[in-house]
Amino acid sequence: MPGTKLVEQQIADIFKVSRTLVRQALNQLSRDKLVTLSPARGAFVAEPSAEEARQIFELRQMIETAMIRRIAETITPAQVAQLRAHLKDEAAAVARTDVPGRTRLLADFHTLLARMLGNEVLAEVLHDLLLRGSLIALMAQSAHSAEASHAEHVQIVDALEQGDARAATRLVARHLEMVAANLHRHPRVRDLGQALQPLAQVENIAGGPRAAAPRPRAGTRKASK
């Protein structure tokens, strides 16, 4: 949970990797404000305040409602098909209770939309906001809230396919409001091992803690919310 001390050896044992790779991952997470590093005390899970979470979702709502209006006016059948394929992956992850997988895919839906405008700066900004919220989402998201988020994504794509910008905008605004509300409604994971073990089991990481460390900024990036 936020404030939990991150012991390098414990993380290395969970992911079956070296402490050097864990240290590199923690440094990357620190740059993305997901981990706090102290020279004297070590690494700790960042403690985003309720106010910070509110500000993140407020900013996302401003960005994504404007974004979705543009997409509704320009979306192509090929892009709709791409979104439908992504929704199938979301549904599969939700159905098999793949916590890290569904968290990543539910976040990726939003960056996928941003990239459909061909604006990589927008995609980068949104990705960073999703990263800031990913810690809370991973620890607080319930199976029910994940199912609800997926269902809302389906409704958004339906509106986009119909070219209904007004409906799409309304659905995105309501979706972000519901996600923010769900993060405060469900209890957080209380144990570091409980939070990290699903990532190790699903990813079966051999070359480094990919699920724990966001990809570098260069090139294609994926979020984890």
Q: Would you state the pLDDT for residue 111?
A: 93
pLDDT (tens place) for every residue of the chain, 225 residues total = 556 778 888 888 877 888 888 888 888 878 777 778 888 788 877 666 667 777 888 899 999 999 999 999 999 999 999 999 999 999 999 999 887 788 889 999 999 999 999 999 999 999 888 877 766 665 555 666 889 999 999 999 999 999 999 999 999 999 988 877 766 555 444 444 544 444 444 333 333 433 343 444 444 444 445
Give the per-residue SS3 of 147-183: HHHHHHHHHHHHHHHCCCHHHHHHHHHHHHHHHHHHH
| CA dist., res. 131 & res. 133, Å (int) | 5
Tell me whether residue 117 is exposed, middle or buried, using C-beta atoms within 10 angstroms of its C-beta: 0 to 12, 13 to 18, 19 or more: middle
Indicate the domain borders of the chain: 5-47+190-203, 50-185
Q: Would you state the pLDDT for residue 163?
A: 95
Residue 86, CA distances (Å) to 8, 72, 75, 82, 153 in order: 34, 18, 16, 6, 10
Q: Dihedral (C-alpha) 81, 85, 88, 89: value to the nearest 10 degrees?
A: -160
Four-residue CA torsion sign, 18, 188, 223, 121: negative
For the domain spanning 50-185, the CATH number is 1.20.120.530
Task: Name the helix (H) or strand (E) containing 42.
Answer: strand 42-45
CATH class, range 5-47+190-203:
mainly alpha
Backbone angles phi, psi at 35, to 5 degrees: -135, 145
